Amino acid sequence: MTQHTVAFVGTGKPQGEDATGFAMAYKHAEAYDALENCEIVACADIVRENAEAFADTNGIDDGHVYEDYEEMLSEAEPDIVSVTVPPAIHSDIVLGCVRSGVVEAVHCEKPMADDWNDCVEMVDAAEEYDVQLTFNHQRRMGTPFRKAKELLDDGEIGELERVEFAAANLFDYGTHSFDLCNFYNDECDSEWVMAQIEYSEENVLFGAHNTNEAIVQWKYDNGVFGYGATGAGTVAEAVGCHHRLVGTEGRIEVGVGFCSSDDGPTLRIKRSSDDDWETIDVGEAGVHGPDFHEAAIEHLVTSLDEGTEPELSGQNALRATGLIFGAWESARQRSRVDFPLDVDGNPLESMIESGELQPQQSD
């Protein structure tokens, strides 16, 4: 069994549970710690107290606690780096790690970045430097979502015709939603996307703007359609579940009631021959866990060991992220947007900067 040393960039505040202090590094660390072939050896954070708290929790020597991540890379020479900083600086850190000549793998939090050019550059650089790059779309590793895929692949609802999702927002949570749609459709590329958005009340998560509501429709190259509705308690009610798979011979729903409630069945199926819905047993698993992070980290480490393409790859993340940026661009142009995507920067931020969108701060 190959042994791997692991380092972190961006530890965050310990025990933070809100959008300004949520420390995903701790969740990543728990997952690495559960693997016999991974040892956490270093961490870096621009707030030294945060890095020191993380080091204390995870048994990192004082000499491997840094404020400068480049110094950490040079001195600690980790095999794997988890990047758990806000999206706006994902690209700078990821590119620094990839081009360092030190690391074998980089695992970055989602969303990829708040600039489309940065998203593409990260993936291109990882391929150029032969570094495994993954993004933490961990939900696709969860039991309800994978069981739904098994039912689909087993032909329980015939051929897939449409994927649907509901989510609180298009970017921070929606990146999971699009990633799962692509997962269900075997990572097929998209042909086009068309969307409309509403953004009147400022909603900034981890430093990035997130629209209040959105409706998105897209088509894959294989003819399957996609539909998404975001806005908890409002537009998302049009779907009424976390994901719906519509086939030629039935439907599968994951997370019934999401995102207004978690009271419905976690997974159910209704075949054309069925009189009523059948609830599928997924044990204690829900749409938020448990053990999604652990499964994701274990998967990326196994992929690194075996030299196989991870499901959480940069290319797969790029497909999901492209639908988000394509949706923003569609709203900006008021037209359908075709793939491959021809977008510069961030269309949502462009609309805000131009005054076309004027989100107001809530009281």
Alpha carbon of 333 to those of 177, 326, 338, 341, 347: distances in Å? 23, 10, 12, 13, 9
Which of 68-82, 231-245, 266-280, 324-338 shows the lowest mean pLDDT across its residues? Answer: 231-245
Residue ranges of alpha helices (H) inside the chain are: 24-33, 48-58, 69-76, 90-98, 116-128, 143-153, 174-184, 292-306, 314-333, 347-354
Any residues with CB less than 8 A from the CB of 161 and at least 6 apart, and which? 224, 225, 246, 247, 248
CA 310 remoteness from chain centre: 14
- Rounded to an integer, the average pLDDT of 223-239 is 93
- Rounded to an integer, the average pLDDT of 64-87 is 98
Predicted model pTM: 0.96
Q: How confident is the model at residue 19 (pLDDT cuts 50, 70, 90)?
A: very low
Give the residue, 6 or 262, on which the prediction is more confident. 6
Distance CA 246, CA 185 (A): 11
Sketch the domain layout of the chain as residue ranges: 4-137+291-312, 139-279
The 10s digit of each residue's pLDDT in 126-182 is: 999 999 999 999 999 999 999 999 999 999 999 999 999 999 999 999 999 999 999
Q: What is the CATH number of domain 139-279?
A: 3.30.360.10
Full 3-state SS string of 160-207: EEEEEEEECCCCCCHHHHHHHHHHHCCCCCEEEEEEEEECCECCEECC
Any residues with CB less than 8 A from the CB of 73 and at least 6 apart, and which? 7, 81, 96, 97, 100, 102, 103
Q: What is the CATH number of domain 4-137+291-312?
A: 3.40.50.720
- Rounded to an integer, the average pLDDT of 180-201 is 98
**In this model, does residue 16 exceed pLDDT 90?**
no
